[in-house]
Amino acid sequence: MSPRLLRVLGWGSAAALGLLTVAVFVLVLIPAKNAVLPTRIKYGLVFDAGSTHTSLYIYRWPAHKENGTGIVSQVEACSVSGPGISSYADDPAGAGASLKPCLDKAMQVIPAEQQRETPTYLGATAGMRLLRAQNSSKAEQVFAEVSKAIGQYPVDFRGARILTGSEEGSFGWITVNYLLQTLVKFSFAEKWEQPQDTEVLGALDLGGASTQITFQPGGPVEDRNTSVFFRLYGTNYSLYSHSYLCYGQSQALKMLLAALHQASSSAEISHPCYPRGYQENLTVAELYDSPCVHAPGSASPGLVLRVTGTGEPGACGAAVQRLFSSSCGARGPCGLNGVYQPPVRGQFLAFSGFYHNLHFLNLTGGQSLSLVNATIWQICNSSWEQVQGLFPTASRGQLRDACPASSYTLTLLLQGYKFNSTTWPNIHFVQQVANVDVGWTLGCMLSLTNIIPSEPLTEVTELPRRIWIAATVLLAIMLILTFCLLTAMCYQRSSSGYEQL
């Protein structure tokens, strides 16, 4: 091999060694930086088993929490076909079967590898409270069947139970304030922070069998039975909350009809809240099928009652008002039926039945109290034909109840919860906030994230991108030089063989 070629190879080897040394120094001396891996997402399922229907809500939140509470968002909602689970008292298996289509949908949303760790809850409200009061064994059978149905799916089922009225009201309050970012908000610094000097809102919920009011009063709550404490995002909250069983819309209208029947003392009932000319028949057993109404001892369960609407706004309002007792006695400030309630304070979000009843009459856009009164008076003064003409796509039940439901809503807010012409503008009627349904389930999920273990952010050591580029270039140079060296060695061996020959 020629001396010149050897010198070249020597310089090439030396250069390769030098470049390798430089690469090592570069990789060692240039500091690495820490990078945060994307936070793992957790999922949760909550069934809202109400008195008239059931819905399944799918939520998710980052495994890393903010001050102990998850930042929860709604992924999807699924409405269960059929009535509420309390209606399956005589067919418990049907209650469980009704949930399966929505569970199937949830399994399509949640990644398969995370389904078994997805906490799943079923909360039943006033409908099951009434069934338990009526027949506790039937209520237990319904719960057994829905638990059996949910247990067939690969989720972390944590039980079905009846929420207390206080829980239902408080969870609704959490939902309202979370969605309006009065508990925690995303700042311009791109992080979640607790808002400063922000007033929380009250929550008004009207279901089929109960109604709830929850707000932060101006002073201490004097009745401990209506006092609720929460800790969310590192802050303590002291609230007033009360739930009235039997004063949800369906049960209240049943009480109204029962009172009219007992006042008539006959099988013919004139209903001043139903449109003029409307008629329907029902039996005594159908009317008195709830613990909220008590049949007179002389009434025969099979007796057919004929109900005729008379469309009288004044008489309707008076009949609805008689459902409430306005006496506070010696207990100081009170709300519905003499129950202790501090004066309402601040802004309120009214949802569920409050929203649906007034939205049907296009009264959820901030209308004045006088306009709301006038509109309800007009609908209550209408005939059956007029109501059908005004709302051609509505169901028979919606048309029949347009007057009594809106009258009851207004009376409950004014006479029951003690709003007035001054505080009326503070009520905001909503169905959703930021495309999320307003109700107790989101608040429940947020509260439950307090007891679901948090996962810390994971940091990994990440070399800067320029180092990887430099290392790749050096590796390529070294490979080229190695190839040249091997080629030269082969050439040298070949030359030596020819010289021997």
Return mean pLDDT, the chain: 85
Q: Which residue has the higher pLDDT, 236 or 306?
A: 306
Helices (H), 72-155: 92-109, 126-134, 136-151
Residue whose entry in the numeric block shows the structure tokens 């991108």: 465
Q: Which CATH superfamily is domain 249-429 in?
A: Exopolyphosphatase. Domain 2 (3.30.420.150)
- Which residue among 66, 145, 167, 168 is the active-site one? 168
pLDDT of residue 270: 97
pLDDT in tens, 296-323: 887 899 999 999 999 999 999 999 999 9
Say whether pLDDT at 5 is over 70.
no
Model confidence pLDDT, tens digit, residues 325-347: 767 766 678 888 889 999 999 99
Is 168 among the residues known to form the active site? yes
Task: Kindly tell me if the per-residue pLDDT of 276 is higher than 80.
Answer: yes
- Give the DSSP H or E segment for 8: helix 3-29
Going by C-alpha positions, the residue among 143, 440, 378, 404 that lies closest to residue 257 is 404
Give the pair of three-digit tokens for residue 388.
């059908």
β-partners of residue 429 are 350
- Is the pLDDT at 12 greater than 80, yes or no? no
Output the pLDDT for position 38: 45
pLDDT exceeds cutoff 60 at 230: yes
pLDDT tens across 352-389, in order?
999 999 999 999 999 999 999 999 999 999 999 999 99
Please list, in sequence order, all residues whose beta carbon lies within 8 angstroms of the beta carbon of residue 313, skipping any fewer than 6 positions away: 272, 376, 377, 380, 381, 403
Chain centroid, CA 399 distance in Å: 29
C-alpha–C-alpha distance, residues 144 and 134, integer Å: 17
Least confident range of 201-210, 231-240, 352-361, 489-498: 489-498
Average pLDDT value for residue range 202-221 = 96
Q: Which of 46-50, 76-80, 438-442, 464-468 has the lowest mean pLDDT?
A: 464-468
Per-residue model confidence as pLDDT tens digits over 354-364: 999 999 999 99
The β-bridge partners of 122 are 47, 160
Average pLDDT over residues 123-139: 96
| Average pLDDT of span 414-430 | 96
Token digits for 413?
A: 């807010």
Q: Percent of the chain, pLDDT > 70?
A: 77
Per-residue pLDDT at 308: 98
| Amino acid letter for position 313 | P
Q: Where are the chain's structural domains? A: 3-32+463-500, 249-429
pLDDT at position 122 is 96
pLDDT bracket for residue 471 (50, 70, 90): low
pLDDT score of 454: 45
Please, are residues 214 and 241 in contact by the beta-carbon 8 Å criterion? yes
Task: Give the model's pLDDT for residue 335.
Answer: 87
In this prediction, residue 131 has a pLDDT band, given cuts at 50, 70 and 90, of: very high
Residue 124 in this model has a pLDDT that exceeds 60: yes
How far, rounded to the nearest angstrom, does the alpha carbon of residue 297 sit from its chain's CA centroid? 43
The DSSP line for 404-462 is HHHHHHHHIIIIIS---TTTGGGEEE-SEETTEE-SHHHHHHHHHHTTSPP-PPPEEEE
Q: For a pLDDT cut of 90, what percent of the chain falls above it?
A: 66
Q: CA 327, CA 242: separation in Å to the nearest integer? A: 18
Average pLDDT estimate for 44-64: 92
